[in-house]
Amino acid sequence: QVRLMESGGGSVQAGGSLRLSCVTSGYTYDSNCIAWFRQRPGRAREGIAAIYTGGDSLHYPGHKRGRFIVSRDTAKNTVYLQMNDLIPEDTGMYYCTADPIGTYELCGAVERGQHWGKGDWGQGTQVTVSS
């Protein structure tokens, strides 16, 4: 059974940092795209970073890396999202997901800023940034 479990959220002041973790299990593909999305109050869910495990290529919306950096630890089956210089507008629920058939499609969707509703999702972790 496929599982994704996020952790690491919390409450921080503006300018602070958090590192979110996404532990994955149950996937049978040698390579896959794992992505981070967030849903802020009153807004649609948006992709913010992705990593393709077949080569560790990193993918960001518009091909631009900003304050958030994605990485992974293969031995721990964990994908991280390092969030720096947090602002109140970063407040929201953060989720990880994976391409359901082990392709690159999810990574491309994150780069193009496209909606993604396929596959499995974790339960999310809440990030709250105060001013």
Instruction: Show the tokens assigned to 6.
Output: 């996020």
The whole-angstrom separation of Cα 85 and Cα 42 is 22
Would you state the pLDDT for residue 54?
Answer: 86
Beta bridge partners of 32: none
CA distances from 72 to 10, 42, 94, 113 (A): 20, 30, 17, 22
Would you state the pLDDT for residue 64?
Answer: 87
Would you state the pLDDT for residue 68?
Answer: 97
Tens-of-pLDDT digits for all 131 residues of the chain?
A: 778 999 999 999 999 999 999 999 887 777 889 999 999 999 999 999 999 988 889 999 998 889 999 999 989 999 999 999 999 999 999 999 998 888 899 999 999 999 999 888 989 999 999 99
The whole-angstrom separation of Cα 19 and Cα 7 is 9
Residues 38/95, Cβ–Cβ less than 8 Å: yes
Question: Helix, strand, or coil here: 66?
Answer: coil
Q: Among residues 56, 60, 34, which one has the least CA distance to residue 48?
A: 60
